[in-house]
Amino acid sequence: MFYNTIKTFIQGGNTTQPLGPTLHMLAAAESGVLTLILTNPIWVVKTRLCLQYGAEASGNKASEYRGMVHALAQIYRKEGIRGLYRGFIPGMFGVSHGALQFMTYEEMKNYYNTYRKLPIDTKLATTEYLAFAAISKLIAAAATYPYQVIRARLQDHHLNYTGSWDCIKQTWRYEHMRGFYKGLVPYLVHVTPNICMVMLIWEKLTN
């Protein structure tokens, strides 16, 4: 919603006007920042719930989160707003993921329609939308995935880092480049079909 609204505003309502890579990235980056501000607390809770271990072994039942609402309340009570926005700085770098993905996707569509000598807003076939969405996601993931590793580690309450740079240094020191790409394969298996369906449904339902 943010992306399409910003892009339409830049185009002045003329969907046939090409924006070019820079403006596509600008629209995607702005929408990414707005989305991150709204959703970062949810990512923190999701990470904490996924990484909830050790409480039973230590007998410390009080440290367990009973669910999403309880986790939100506990994090806010013990850590304040800052706790809900852990990993926000790496998340800001992660805005580049969406910016790169949307820019690549839009530019591929525009180039393809220009190659066919058609207006850039000409509708494509289902397979073409799926292919462009998958390629753009793979390119963006390969370029920006490390920020997701850093963000998840900063949000893990079992680990102690003084900040993003400390997390980066320790990851490099003990795991080298491989550490920054842990979980990439299951991530791609999960998100690639997801983004393909999202983009396909969006393109089919909009004029």
pLDDT in tens, 74-83: 888 888 898 8
What whole-number distance in Å separates Cα of residue 65 and Cα of residue 44? 12
Q: Which CATH class is domain 2-205?
A: mainly alpha
Strands (E), the chain: none
Domain ranges of the chain: 2-205
Sign of torsion, CA 177 178 179 185? positive
Q: Say yes or no to pLDDT of 136 above 90.
A: yes
pLDDT in the model for residue 57:
47
What pTM did the predictor assign?
Answer: 0.64
What whole-number distance in Å separates Cα of residue 114 and Cα of residue 189? 31
What whole-number distance in Å separates Cα of residue 201 and Cα of residue 51? 33
For Cα atoms 89, 82, 93, give the angle at the middle one, nearest 5 degrees. 10
- Note whether 65 and 46 are within 8 A (CB): no
What whole-number distance in Å separates Cα of residue 2 and Cα of residue 30? 8
